[in-house]
């Protein structure tokens, strides 16, 4: 059951419009946008600088204005769990798809459990079907997983990499299992639209 920290369902909010009963503040902090070029890639994606540049190029192509564009991958030195510090955004930032559909709060997305997203990445138009898997190398807490395709340098069938599932609203959205690194699956990018240290004033909590 969800309750409101302040303001109620109409206190400064646009509408409550998702399965987790999240109230979207009318003056929310800057949001994060997940997006994908929906192309298939083997596991030799390159280092953090290479994958960030790839995401930056695609953000420009689709008209996103971002201060940072990390790919949703965990490397030993830069795991997804450290993204708020590494890329200067609040862990309580709202996350949405490229067309504005709310996915959830960044902090909630890495708590594990049966429902961590309000909308799947497929429904939010981040990753399109078919081919609903994407490289992450990340476990459901945002830390590096057991498989990273040798820090995303390998396209060998003998190496493995962690992958997320776009149809899921559970913890499997970020880690649904490992795939062979010679397999072509998708990638997901994070557009940081600004910096914020302020949590949304009407974020939900659970009883």
pLDDT in tens, the chain (207 residues): 333 233 333 344 444 444 455 554 544 556 899 999 999 999 999 999 999 999 999 999 999 999 999 999 999 999 999 999 999 999 999 999 999 999 999 999 999 878 999 999 999 999 999 899 999 999 999 999 989 999 999 999 999 999 999 999 999 999 999 999 999 999 999 999 864 433 333 333 333
- What is d(CA 34, CA 14) in angstroms, rounded to the nearest whole number? 21
Q: Which two tokens stand for residue 113?
A: 């459990």
- What is d(CA 189, CA 191) in angstroms, rounded to the nearest whole number? 7
Q: Where are the alpha helices (DSSP H) in 98-190?
A: 149-152
- What is d(CA 89, CA 12) in angstroms, rounded to the nearest whole number? 22
Half-sphere exposure of 43 (CA within 13 A, CB side): 27
Q: Burial, 170: exposed, middle or buried (Cβ in 10 Å; 0-12, 13-18, 19+)? A: middle
Q: How many CB atoms lie within 10 A of CB 122?
A: 18
Stated pTM of the model: 0.81
pLDDT of residue 29: 57
């Amino acid at each position: 059951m969800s309750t409101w920290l302040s303001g109620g369902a109409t206190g400064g909010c646009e509408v409550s419009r998702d399965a987790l009963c999240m109230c979207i503040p009318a003056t929310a902090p800057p949001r994060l946008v997940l997006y994908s070029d929906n192309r298939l890639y083997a596991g030799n994606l390159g280092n953090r600088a290479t994958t960030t540049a790839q995401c930056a190029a695609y953000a420009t192509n689709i008209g996103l204005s971002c201060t940072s564009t990390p790919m949703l991958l965990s490397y030993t030195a830069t795991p997804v769990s450290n993204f708020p510090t590494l890329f200067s955004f609040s862990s309580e930032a709202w996350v949405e798809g490229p067309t504005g559909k709310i996915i959830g709060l960044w902090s909630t997305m890495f708590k594990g459990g049966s429902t961590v997203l309000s909308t799947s990445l497929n429904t939010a138009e981040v990753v399109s079907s078919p081919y609903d898997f994407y490289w992450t190398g990340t476990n459901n807490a945002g830390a590096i997983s057991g498989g990273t395709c040798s820090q995303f340098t390998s396209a060998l069938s003998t190496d493995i990499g962690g992958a997320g599932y776009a149809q899921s609203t559970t913890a499997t959205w970020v880690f649904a299992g490992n795939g062979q690194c010679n397999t072509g699956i998708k990638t997901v990018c994070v557009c940081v639209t600004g910096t914020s240290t302020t949590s949304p004033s009407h974020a939900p909590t659970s009883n």
